[in-house]
Amino acid sequence: MSDKADKKPKDKKAKKGKGGADASAGPSVAAHPRASYQVRKAKGWGGVAGFGIAAYLSHKAGVPTVDLGLRAIIAGMVGYMLAWACAVTVWRQLVLAELRAAVERAAPAKPDVIPARADAVKNAGPAPEAAVPAGATGS
């Protein structure tokens, strides 16, 4: 037999590409379908905004063109990083809130902590209709 037949094919799933987050590691901004898109979008707008603001302010200040471009590029990079940090911070909290909401939806309803009130609710049946004040018509 040849050596080629003895070799096992490489597992394509074991190889992680760019943006491949491991779902078993826990909640992740990179693995969230909306979060990764929104973070990319925020980074782009942050870089463009930083570049544009720095270029405009440098132009108004009468800075030479070469220095204007250098300042604008540096401010664009700073805006990119700042927007990335803010977006990831916000989405971390949103991902955790979504997980908490999913757990609460899946959990059974909690019984009332005051036993007397729980008995009263069982005995009362459905709630009576709210009385409408005399002068409050929907028109």
Which of 66-86 are b and which e, b meaning 16 or more Cβ less than 10 Å from the residue's Cβ?
eebeebbeebbeebbebbbee
Residue 73 within a domain: yes
Residue 12 confidence (pLDDT): 53
Arithmetic mean of pLDDT, 34-59: 95
Question: CA of 48: how far to CAs of 24, 60, 80, 89, 91, in Å?
Answer: 35, 18, 8, 20, 21
Which of 27-31, 42-46, 53-57, 97-101 bottoms out in mean pLDDT, i.e. has the lowest?
Answer: 27-31
Residue 29 within a domain: no
Residue 24 confidence (pLDDT): 62
Task: Count up the domains in the chain and report the number.
Answer: 1
Q: Is residue 36 a contact partner of residue 29, using CB atoms and an 8 Å limit?
A: yes
Residue 119 within a domain: no
* pLDDT surpasses 80 at 90: yes
Residue 71 within a domain: yes
Arithmetic mean of pLDDT, 108-116: 68
pLDDT bucket at 55, cuts 50 / 70 / 90: very high
Residue 75 confidence (pLDDT): 97
Residue 94 within a domain: yes
Residue 48 within a domain: yes
* pLDDT surpasses 90 at 41: yes
Residue 114 within a domain: no
Residue 32 confidence (pLDDT): 86
Residue 83 within a domain: yes
More reliable by pLDDT, 12 or 115:
115
Residue 11 confidence (pLDDT): 53
Domain interval for residue 88: 39-106
